[in-house]
Amino acid sequence: MQQLTSAEAALIASVDAAPMLDQVLAWSAINTGTGNLSGLAQYVAILADAFAALPGEVALVAPAKVEAVAPDGRGLEVAYGQHMVLRVRPKANRRFLLTGHMDTVFPPDHAFQAPRWLDEETLNGPGVADMKGGIAVILAALKAFEGSPAAAGVGYDVLLNSDEETGSLSSAPLIAELAAGKIAALTYEPSALPDGTLAGARGGSGNYSLIVTGKSAHAGRNPQDGRNAIVAAAALALGLKALEREGLSINPAKIDGGSANNVVPDHAVLRFNIRPMNTQLAEWFEQQVQQLIAAVAAEHGVAIHRHGGISRPPKPLDPPAERLFELVRDCGAALGQTIRWQSSGGVCDGNNIAACGVPVVDTMGVRGGAIHSPDEFLIVPSLAERAKLSALVLHRLATGVTL
């Protein structure tokens, strides 16, 4: 175990944890559900002001255009909030990427809107763990790191996006742009377990809509002249489920369409999600779904249009990623923190970053749990713990650790 040098000890002592809890309390009280553009606009302005305390330039970046499929099959543009980017020493030869997200899964009309204390060390509230606590960790760690002489020789970008909870569709191009050329990346999702265990390898995720166009007819007089889009969509759903195997889960989630009971329905939209644990399974599914679509279209006499695809590629642990995890583990040990990692079926922006060939640890945020539910909680002492851990990781990356 590598112990702290005097410079590292001074760095850790400089981490100012005092503002972090107040930040989380204030930020959690602002509703930032992905679709709440006014709440996100309020929050991004607060964060832009807070991160302006660091060197570099803060910019608010417009979301990329994203099209979804409406229940009637038409294309529908989806509105997202602005993304915040901080660029520090962009001409440095050795640069890192730190990412977080501003949005939560709780819309403005959800009952879960304000933080409350469960006990002296546990805070319940929307986004306290996922991931407003993580954003506070980024800010505190970078402020301490900037006080170290090692910071002058490296640069970094910080991305806080507004759409992670719905797949980062409007920020994916920005993630790829910022990941390019980076030595390493840290993403501030909460720990995989309340004890601080990190998420290691991750599976991937894809969301799809299959738009089925049949032919309407009278259900009593001439049903044989119709082409039932609902029945075809049901056949697709059953066919998709039959493609499941170890390492590949498929979830047919919803069918939109149909009309009156006496009309053969000429329209349906089947929506589904897949979770491949590796790229081989993702590629296999791509071949199989094309064959399934062709077979169902021929059997039922319908047209089928596919929308969507893999938005979070699988994230294996390659050797550079393993070395980054080992660095985080060793930094934790030097701070008296036990750091482990395990594979996860969940996905996040770490998947997108890894797909760019950049080693990433994507659960550098706070210890907590029950995320995406009204029971979400933050273990408050982990704010300071994780800020110190990040500051030390950045320092060692800056002083020549090779991944």
Q: Are residues 187 and 214 in the same domain?
A: no
**Residue 383 CB coordination number (10 Å):** 26
Does the pLDDT of residue 319 top 60, yes or no? yes
Residue 403: what pLDDT?
83
Rg (CA), the chain: 23
In a domain, 1, yes or no: no
Indicate the residue among 248, 283, 312 that finishes a domain.
Answer: 312
**Number of domains the chain contains:** 2
Residues 298 and 167 in one domain: no
- Is the residue at 59 inside a domain? yes
Q: Do both 321 and 242 map to the same domain?
A: no
Instruction: Give the span between the Cα atoms of 261 and 312, in whole angstroms.
Output: 39
* Model confidence pLDDT, tens digit, residues 329-346: 999 999 999 999 999 989
Per-residue model confidence (pLDDT) at position 339? 97
State percent of the chain over pLDDT 70. 100
Residues 87 and 98 in one domain: yes
Is the pLDDT score of 2 beyond 80? Answer: no
Ramachandran region, residue 290 (left: φ > 0; alpha: ψ -120 to 50; beta: rest): alpha
pLDDT, position 401:
80
Beta-bridge mates of residue 198: 341
CA nearest neighbour of 156 among 169, 165, 145: 145
Q: Is residue 403 part of a domain?
A: no
Name 273's bridge partners. 207, 251
| Interatomic CA distance for residues 144 and 387, integer angstroms | 9
| Residue 367, in any domain of the structure | yes
**What is the distance between the alpha carbons of residues 92 and 94, in angstroms, rounded to a whole number?**
6
Residue whose token pair is 């329209």:
267
Query: Are 47 and 151 within one domain?
Result: yes
Choosing from 287, 312, 337, the residue where a domain stops is: 312
Residues 177 and 220 in one domain: no
* Mean pLDDT, the chain, integer: 97
Instruction: Indicate whether 370 belongs to any domain.
Output: yes
Write out the DSSP string of 231-250. HHHHHHHHHHHHT-BTTEEE
- The pLDDT value recorded for residue 400 is 81
Three-state SS letters, 97-145: EEEEECCECCCCCCCCCCCEEEECCEEECCCHHHHHHHHHHHHHHHHHH
Q: Are residues 189 and 111 in the same domain?
A: yes
List all residues 6 or more positions away from 43 whose beta carbon is below 8 Å from its beta carbon. 27, 30, 32, 102
Q: Which domain holds residue 183?
A: 6-69+76-202+315-398
Tens of pLDDT, residues 107-119? 999 999 999 999 9
Same domain, 339 and 195: yes
CATH code: domain of residue 190: 3.40.630.10
Same domain, 303 and 377: no
pLDDT tens digit string along 210-227? 999 999 999 999 999 999
pLDDT at 134: 98
Per-residue pLDDT tens over the stretch 230-276: 999 999 999 999 999 999 999 999 999 998 999 999 999 999 999 99
13 found inside a domain: yes
> What pLDDT does residue 204 have?
98
User: pLDDT (tens digit, 9 = 90+) per residue, 8-58?
Assistant: 999 999 999 999 999 999 999 999 999 999 999 999 999 999 999 999 999
Residue in 377, 355, 354 with CA at minimum distance from that of residue 133: 377
CA–chain centroid gap for 104, Å, is: 11
Would the pLDDT of 179 be above 90? Answer: yes
One domain for residues 293 and 327: no
* Residue 174 in domain: yes
The whole-angstrom separation of Cα 179 and Cα 386 is 23
Q: How many CA atoms lie within 13 A of 250 on its CB side?
A: 22
Q: 34 and 151 share a domain?
A: yes
pTM of the predicted model as reported, rounded to 2 decimal places: 0.95
The answer as to whether 173 is a domain residue is: yes
Q: How far apart are the first and last CA of the chain?
A: 18
User: Where a domain ends, among 260, 279, 312?
Assistant: 312
Residues 139 and 248 in one domain: no
Q: Hey, how many other C-beta atoms are within 10 angstroms of the C-beta on 13?
A: 9
Residues 276 and 204: beta-carbon distance below 8 Å: yes
> Quick one: pLDDT at residue 250?
98
Contact call for residues 249 and 209 (beta carbons, < 8 A): no
pLDDT band at 402 (very low <50, low <70, confident <90, very high): confident
